[in-house]
Structure 1
Amino acid sequence: MSGPESVTCHEDLVKLLAEQFARADVSLRELQTRAERAGGARLPRTTCADMLAGRRFPKKAVMLAFLRGCRVPDAQLPAWERAWDRVRVGRLPPGTSGEPPVLPGRVWTVRRWRRAGLLAAMAVATVAISLGVMAQRVTPQRGTSAGVPGSFVGASHIVSDDGRSFPRGGSSRFTVRVDPASTRVRLVRRLDVGVGLQHATISVNGVPAAEWRPLLEDAVYKWRDQVVTLPPHLTAGRDSLTIVNTSVSASGFNEFFYTVENEVDGGWTVADRLDVGRGHVAGEAAHGYRVAGEDWADVQTFAYPPRRADWRVR
């Protein structure tokens, strides 16, 4: 899909809005602040989240405020307005124009007004049912098997998280729990791939173990969960592992969330979790987390790729 000119349905519109949000590299809070400064339509964070999830068809003024907050040029906004108009017309039931009936040359009696009111109420009910069906159709499913139709991006794909980063030569250190009976252990790291080619070595209990391989930059869908399987001979029979990540890339290394998974009796389970960032210092302390050479610590709001199968990478 190239732009708003190709929009034909609600799902198309939501996808493009989500892509604009991802490209803008801005939080929902900042969008709300920008709208308040502009003095136009209000842009509450919950409204934006519902709009990006497809749960709510936005008012035109809200959509335009959102686009201006994403720094879409004013010259492009008429195309977005036309796209909004097409989707709105497509969401109305057949034969509904949205305008009140006009009977030229006749004076309406009380009975006719009552009939017109009844017809209007029936039309509203029809639209509500139609919108309800549409909402059920486009709202992403929840849970581990959740998916999205085509390339639609749902609210569960957009995540705000705080994290830290460090340059080449910097490092992070933490200790996690594992099951001594595990046969394999996986380390899963949420990272911002808007910073490409991050490369780091991993040691386990002081022994070189693996590496975080460089990933290509993605400037649109910036969240990924990178997975590394640790050597079994370094994890077997242990109930805890001390991990050290050392950056060896010019682009540095960022980390937001770690999940530790272990395989016991042929099944994978979550053994431990570490949420990195200034908002989770208690969790960091519980895991003995330390960072050397930190050059950034803040919150980011990004989107995962449209297909859940693309969230995890090696």
Structure 2
Amino acid sequence: MKPLEPSDPRTIGPFPLLAQLGRGGMGRVYLGRAPDGSLVAIKVIHDTLAQNPRFRARFAREIEAAARVPEIHTPRVVQAGPDDTPPWMATAYIPAPSLQEAVDEHGPLSHRAALFLAARLAAGLAAIHASGLVHRDLTPRNVLLAIDQPKIIDFGIARVMDASRLTAQGSLLGTYAYMSPEQLSREQVGPPSDVFSLGSLLAFAASGRSPFLDETIPPTINSVDADPPEFPRLPDGDLRELVVRCLRKEPAQRPRPEEIVALLEHRWPEDDGWLPARIVGMIVEKEREAARLAKGESLGLLSSAADAGEPGRTPPVPAGGEPPGPPRTPLWKRPLLLIVPGAALVIGVAAVAIGVLIDPGRATAPPPVSATPTPTPASTPTSTPTPTPSPSPSPSPSPRREVTDDGRAFQSGGWSQFTVTVDPDNTGVRITRRFDADVAWQSASISVNGRPAGMWEPVPGARLTWMDQTVRLPLSVTDGRSRLTIRNTYEDSTKDFNEFRYVIEQRIGEEWERADVVDVGPSHTAQEKAHDYRITEQTWRGTRTFRY
């Protein structure tokens, strides 16, 4: 997202423009505000292209094509002006990174996330083809990783299957490394061409590299047309087998999208989160940036606030106490030792950590409740981060749960801490899970009020004593509700599924009244299930420190 340039229009149709989202060979895409206050992405065609009647016909067809595909698979068309000068189309704004952005920044998706991507994109292609269309440009840049599922965008070169060509003779439309052999040979293109592109896209999503991309265009085209695909970074297994089937040179030998959906659709519960925490964080930032723009703030002000910290707050300080340094190489391009940090304290946030002691045995007296709360006012800057508590010896075994707010909580097999944090400006929720190497192989997914929200991933090869994983839940998931139910389902190294449910009640204003309920999932023992507990806390513009 970039500020508007002097040459950019300030309105398109009924929409005031707020920022520039991107540009390409066809034109520019802007962020605009609809009369009802909602945000829209407005695609505006270059004047030179708009003067071509053939191109105008193609753009009008794009508008029609996008409107025919169900909303679940693509952004909703809000309004369009195909006959205006310049022509434009407004769709609902999806605050999400493209697959290209996400992989470039954070590396390949997990196996589980890539399978979900495959299933939902296949369902989207099935819907597109059922509408009588072929997309013809399914690339990582044209897939948005939305919080609920991926969205297919840019129907600029989609073509009605029974229509005559509207492109210039001999021209190639699309991105070479993701084209099908029949596209490159300028043959009639049908639904199998999109399946081939899907195979290349999935290989990129799971390995970080296209199976055909070369340094220059001619060898890339030759590789797509004649060479077998190469994906040394793609692990063996069901995803690789699917990619190989999609990348068969003969269109008739590729699976239909409906077959892919049938193969993958029952692999996980519908309401499970699918995106890793680091990508959910990208969504959160895009949502916050767009929301502030909608309130009238400029991108320059947003940048200053991000650099200097908002009034009344201090910039987050890493757990080690060092101030943030210069931009670093993305995590996935460095040795895999750390994951998303979640230990930094954000002043002015209501938070409570929840832990459990599962081991049976003799009971011990609960620790005393602190009689005096220790507020940390939001208006009082501080340069000293809250110290991370040192691990203390495991308490005597007890059939009950030990609940604290300082991280000293226990679970069989290792330490475990869950922290639910409500942002003071009510723009979302963040959940932090802290655990040691004994439970580092857990993979967890999160849903909020039945909507997919995100997932935690295992960290292969991690050898740290403590690790933090944070999932920030976007406003689109929390949706301004006064009651949130967060479901956390995780799978450990033994393939055993466990579940926790958090219920957060919050009151808008300077006070937060919250009740955190944790319900242990079905795979625990009957004794463990019997020890549900409820915590009620009241905080103001700080964080109370006490024990239960």
Fold equivalence (TM over 0.5): no
TM-score (normalised: structure 1) = 0.29
More strand by share: 1
Q: Which has the higher contact order (CA 8 A, sep 6+)?
A: 1
More helix by share: 1
